[in-house]
Each structure stands twice: as C-alpha cells, then as structure tokens.
C-alpha cells in the first residue's frame, strides 16, 4: 500500500471517531512531510511496507539538524506512534516500528507568562480595538487562540456570563464563566461597535468576517517590541498568564484543569511555577 493512501485511512478514521479538525490537520501535515522526505530520498513513490525504523530515525535527526525544537520533534514522534498503532491494529503492517524509537528528551523550562499589570500594559499599547479585546479575552478566559477565534455569537452567552467551547482540543466541550472584568467589555463590543454583521463568528471584522491567528500574534509581537520587553509573547502566553494568575490566587488545580480543558492534572501542574517574589516571601516567613 502507498504510504500516502495509508495516511488518508488514518485521517478518515480520526474523522470517524470525532478527533478535532486541528488535530487531524496536524497529523496530516506531519505525515505528509515525512512522506515528502522519503519520496525525495527514493526518487519515487513510497510504500508503507518499505518504511523502516531507520527511516524514522533519519527523519527525526534531519529535523534536529534543521534546528527544529525538541518539542516539535517529539510531536512528530508521537504522530508516528499514533499512525503505526492504527496501522498495526488494521493489519496494514506486521509490527509497530515506531516503538523502537527512543523518546526525545525535552529540556524543562519555565513557561513565559505575564502579570495582570503586564497584560493591561500590553492591551493599552495595542491600537486595534478588536485585537486589544482579544488579548484581554485570552488573558481572562484561558482559551486557546483557535478556540477563541472559532466562537460563534451563540457560544458567548453574555446574559448568563458563560462561554461554551465546542469541540476544543481533543474534541472536548467545556463551559468557561466570564468574569466581571471582561463581561462589560464584551457587552460593549457586541452592542456598540461589532461591525461584522454578515458573520456568525463572535470575533470578526467587517472586511473578512473573521480574524487571523497569525495577524493577532504579529500585532502582539510588534507591540511587545515597541514596549521594549525582552519576553517572547504570543497568544498562548496569555493562556499561560491566565493559569498562572489563578495559581497565585490559590485556585485549585482541579478547577484550573476544567477551565483550561486539560485531559489530566499532570498537564495542568506545569503552571505551579513560582516567581522570585514568591520565593523571597517564602524564605522571609522564617
């Protein structure tokens, strides 16, 4: 069987079992990149049964040589493992060659986050009203940018102060309350200056009927540069900032897990970092 045909069988299976569109897109992209690598190497079509563990290792090594970060290389390996688990279960291969590849060591590092004061400073420095609102929205809800930009007008219930995240990461739904800081801003936006009348998306512009993830991140990066900050800030940094603020306010990890839509507490626990002010406060308590 052609490797590309096997990839599409996996994708069809993922669609059938209800995996999120973002996850499916990522798996297809990773596997097609590997298929392209093999096709260039062999100068011809790639058959599933001809792929070896050495091919997987060589591809991962090439990614390292290209300067691809350990997190991304590790993601490729997990994609391979998901593919071969499926292929073995469907008897497309005799064995799961991905299991012979050692896991990629990911260096531990503190996640970047902003204080509430920094979030406010960042928002004030952004000229575009709708981008400013998105920044405040992400920092006060913890939604992923993909979840934020896919929200419809019906998903944001301003009367009940509740956001319904439909088919978030992992295909899970969840409800996220809107706090009293954000609620009046969203009401003002919806009632007074939202101008994308032809779009069902909550965050949208009149011109395009939507908003671009890459454009928002570009505005944030340019604003951070203008402010003279050394931090690397993106939309995802605002999600980290939301979680970090809750941890500092002694909110329980179980509650934070539910708000963020994490599948396990192990994932949420990475937000239990402390800053130097907290460490100074701790030692001075002696």
Q: Would you say residue 279 has pLDDT above 60?
A: no
The string of DSSP codes covering 215-258 is: HHHHHHHHHHHHHT--S---HHHHHHHHHHHHHHTT--HHHHHH
Q: Which DSSP category does 15 fall into? A: H
How many CB atoms sit inside 10 A of residue 65's CB?
A: 7
Alpha carbon distance 273, 278 (integer Å): 10
Q: How confident is the model at residue 268 (pLDDT cuts 50, 70, 90)?
A: low
Question: Each residue of 205-251: pLDDT tens digit?
Answer: 988 899 999 999 999 999 999 999 988 899 999 988 888 888 887 88
pTM: 0.67
How many CB atoms sit inside 10 A of residue 262's CB?
A: 20
Q: Which tokens hold the place of 143?
A: 């939604």
Percent of the chain with pLDDT over 90: 62
Alpha carbon distance 192, 56 (integer Å): 55
Question: Each residue of 58-81: pLDDT tens digit?
Answer: 999 999 999 998 888 999 999 999
12 or 255, higher pLDDT? 12
Cβ atoms of 253 and 156 closer than 8 Å: no
What is the signed CA dihedral for 162, 164, 168, 173, rounded to 10 degrees? 110
Diameter of the chain measured on Cα atoms: 69
Q: Which DSSP category does 209 fall into? A: S
Question: Each residue of 84-138: pLDDT tens digit?
Answer: 999 999 999 999 999 999 888 866 666 688 999 999 999 999 999 999 999 999 9
Q: Which DSSP category does 201 fall into? A: B
The whole-number pLDDT of residue 11 equals 96
């Amino acid at each position: 069987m052609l490797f590309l045909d096997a990839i599409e069988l996996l994708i069809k299976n993922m669609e059938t079992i209800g995996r999120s569109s973002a996850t499916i897109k990522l798996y297809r992209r990773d596997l097609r990149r590997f298929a392209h690598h093999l096709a260039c190497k062999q100068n011809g079509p790639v058959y599933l049964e001809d792929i070896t563990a050495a091919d997987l290792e060589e591809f991962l090594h090439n990614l390292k040589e290209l300067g691809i970060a350990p997190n991304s290389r590790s993601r490729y390996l997990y994609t391979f493992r998901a593919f071969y688990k499926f292929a073995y279960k469907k008897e497309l291969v005799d064995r799961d060659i991905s299991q012979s590849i050692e896991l990629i060591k990911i260096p531990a590092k503190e996640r970047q986050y902003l204080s509430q004061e920094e979030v406010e400073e960042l928002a004030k420095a952004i000229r575009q009203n709708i981008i400013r609102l998105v920044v405040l929205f992400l920092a006060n809800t913890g939604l992923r940018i993909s979840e934020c930009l896919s929200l419809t007008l019906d998903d944001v219930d301003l009367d009940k102060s509740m956001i319904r995240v439909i088919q978030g990461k992992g295909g899970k739904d969840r409800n996220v309350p809107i706090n009293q800081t954000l609620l009046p801003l969203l009401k003002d936006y919806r009632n007074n200056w939202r101008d994308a009348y032809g779009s069902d998306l909550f965050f949208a512009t009149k011109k395009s009927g939507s908003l671009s993830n890459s454009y928002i991140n570009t505005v944030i990066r340019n604003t951070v540069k203008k402010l003279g900050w050394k931090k690397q800030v993106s939309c995802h940094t605002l999600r980290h900032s939301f979680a970090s603020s809750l941890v500092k306010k002694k909110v329980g990890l179980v509650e934070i897990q539910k708000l963020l839509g994490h599948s396990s507490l192990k994932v949420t626990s990475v937000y239990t970092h402390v800053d130097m002010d907290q460490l100074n406060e701790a030692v001075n308590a002696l």
